[in-house]
Structures are given as C-alpha cells and as structure tokens.
Amino acid sequence: MRNTLNRRGFLTGVLGCSVAASPFVTPIALASAPWDNRLVVIILRGAMDGLDAVQPYGDPAYAALRPTLARPEGMADLDGFYGLHPALAPVLPLWQKGELGFVQAVSTPYRDRRSHFDGQDILEAGTPGLDAGGARDGWLNRMLQAVPGVVAETAYAIGREQMLILTGAAPAARWSPDARLRLSPQARLLLERVHADDPLFHAASDQALAIVDGLAAEAVQDRAGQDRAGQVMAGQVMAGQVMAGAGGLRGDHVRLAQFAAGRLRGETRIASFSIGGWDTHGNQANFLGRALGRLSDTIITLREGLAQDWDRTAVICLTEFGRTARENGTRGTDHGTGGAVLLAGGALRGGRVLGDWPGLDESDLYAGRDLMPTRDVRAHAGWLMRGLFGFDRAVIEGAVFPGLDLGADPGLLL
C-alpha cells in the first residue's frame, strides 16, 4: 500500500506543534448566521489614539495638549471640527460616499487600571468587568446563542491566541494565515535518519521535505512580486484616492481581510479579527501612521473583496481604551480612557463623527488626564446588531451585553 502525504497532512502531522507555538500566527474567528447582512468586528489591540486618528482640531485646547502631534495642515478636514489623519487618506473616498464614520469619546466600563490585557478581555467579553462570576465568553458568541440553528464554518485550529469575542457555547470557526513553515537543519536531518531504512515512509519524508522547500520558494517569489506591486502601487495611489483593486496591498492584515471577505461572500455573516501595533508611548507620529495605514489597507481589502455584498456590510473597529489627552516627553501618549470607534461599510450612514464631545479643557478631562467618555462603546455595537440582524433591545441589553443601557439610537445604518 502506498503512503501518500499531501500538503495538509504534512502540515498537521509534522509541523502541528511548531505552528501552534508560532508567535506570528494571527487568528480570525468566523461564524455563519441566517441573515443577508454582514458584520465585521476588528479589535485594534494596543489602544488606538482616537484623538490622533480623528483629530478634534476645532477644540481650542487640542493644540496646546499636543504640540508635536497636532497637525491640521497635514489632515483632511471632515466637518470643520475634526480632521482625518493623513495615513487614513486612502479611505477618505469612503467618507465622501457615506461609507465611513467615527464615534468619539466612548469606552468600555473599564476604568483607571489601564491594563491592555484586562481592557481587551472586557472589550471582547462585553461585560462591565471580569470579577468572579462574570461572563467569560464573548459578546459575539452570546449573540449567536440567541439565534436557533446557527451552524459554524469548518474549523481551522492553528495558533495559540483564542479570541474571546467569539468564544462560547455557540459554534464558531477559526482560521489563521501564514504559519511560518520552516524546518531547521537539525529537524531535516532527524527526519531523514528516522526514515532512512523504512521503505514505506522514506518516500513520504522526501515528499514532505520537497513541500517545505517548495513553500519556501513560493514565499520568496511572493515577496518579490509583492515588493514590485508595492512599488507600482506607491506610484498609483495618491492621498484621497483608492485603487480600483486592492491586489497591490500586502501583509498579514490584508490576508486576514481577504479571507474574511471570501467567507462573507458565502455563508458566513460575522467575522472578527484583530490588528496590533497601537501602543504608541513614543514616536507616535511614525508608529501610529503605520498602524493606521494597515487599517486603511484592511478596510479597502474588505470593500474590494466583498464586492456587491459590501452594501449589506457594517465594519466596526474597537480598541480597549484611548490614550492620554497630553502627549508625553517622548512624543507619544500613554494609556488613557475615552477613545474612538471607526465604522465602515455600505450599510453605514457614514460621513459623520458621532458622539457627545466633552471638551479638552483641564476641568473636562477624566482624572485630569484623559478624554472623558460620554457613552458606552458597547451601545454602538448593540445598535449595529439591532439594525443589521433585528435583535430585540431586551436581548442585547440582557443576554449580549448584560446590564447595558443602549440609550438613544445613534442612527448608524441606512
């Protein structure tokens, strides 16, 4: 009997443990549901500075708080009060079409300790806190539990990180891109020696090694092609213009968005993944610009990949907390409280910056240092679910976000 070894079998059997331990693997969680509308939830891990992404330059106190970060001359004016960070210029056409919007001065109920880990857990759990007895599943999963007959996508379990937001009793699928498929010289030698005298497995080992070599060669070719595409793209994309296609974009965030869009064109209706790199304690101008550039790429990729389904899609980008109103001595910002939400999608009533602006005078700041939250960020996620999927208010306030008061409808959707 011949022993054949395909690519999937090799990856699972030979490299499973190494891949699972890779710190480079970024998971995406997916779940299907019986609706035509789509919801994409993107977690911005590291605390995005909403005061820099969507600058309230119309507040007289802003420039004094941020002498090097405030730069109205480099931004696109949105409404005479807020300006868009230059790194988000590629998605400015979405704003102009009403497919991009923001909410300022929001937060979860988390206060004062400003821990990334706790903040992210509370954001994904959708609960007031993580005390004993509190919910330890995710709010997207609890939403799915309220829908009878939900069926998950086929599961892909690669990577260590488990996104709490879709963890729970309801079935949900997982997938991760680009496991780093490498065999060290020692591992290669071990495989060759173990199977050297085994006629059954020797050929299979040779095939497995050939697969690894082939994948490595493909990766080199892909990187070379992407570099060339990136150079071409740099000449084609100017501020405020979106390419007709997103094929020139590259990076793990793009592959996440491509995979999500492909599934959402099919049976999947809810996708959630994360983008890191938002912890900007120093040299924020450079680090935040790169992170916002990745976010722009992601949104463009989703829009292009979803095609006609974009009109039935809402994207909400959430972060665990905001950052300090004042910049620090290293031209960065520290962990804060109030922050911003980015919204996108063809189902969105965009072209607006929502939220009750609290002001940036000393007396207006939370604890004398942070943007004061004026609304619970969970309320905006709740109103999206109500508008997209028709959930009763009682289900959202009781089961999905226990104890939340949704408040008035902000009119997020068309």
Compute the 3-state secondary structure of the chain and give helix, strand, coil in percent, each to the nearest 5.
40, 15, 45
Element (H, E) at 40: strand 38-44
- Separation CA 312–CA 347 (nearest Å): 5
pTM above 0.85, yes or no: no
Helices (H), 282-376: 284-306
pLDDT digits (tens, 9 = 90+) for 356-407: 999 999 999 999 999 999 999 999 999 999 999 999 999 999 999 999 999 9
Q: Tell me what the mean pLDDT of segment 172-189 comes to.
A: 63
pLDDT digits (tens, 9 = 90+) for 103-159: 999 999 999 999 999 999 999 999 988 774 555 789 988 998 888 777 655 222 222
Which pLDDT band holds residue 7 (cuts at 50, 70, 90)?
A: very low
Contact 177, 252 (CB under 8 A): yes
CA atoms within 13 A on the CB side of 220: 5
Indicate if the pLDDT at residue 244 is higher than 50.
no
Contact 315, 40 (CB under 8 A): yes
- Separation CA 189–CA 196 (nearest Å): 10
Indicate if the pLDDT at residue 243 is higher than 60.
no
| Residue whose structure tokens are 């035509």 | 36
Indicate if the pLDDT at residue 296 is higher than 50.
yes
Tokens representing residue 104 in the block: 């300022």
- Separation CA 409–CA 367 (nearest Å): 29
pLDDT digits (tens, 9 = 90+) for 182-215: 556 666 666 666 666 666 556 656 655 554 555 4
Q: Which of 291, 295, 278, 286 is nearest to 334 (CA)?
A: 278
Q: Which of 178-182, 266-270, 374-378, 410-414 has the lowest mean pLDDT?
A: 178-182
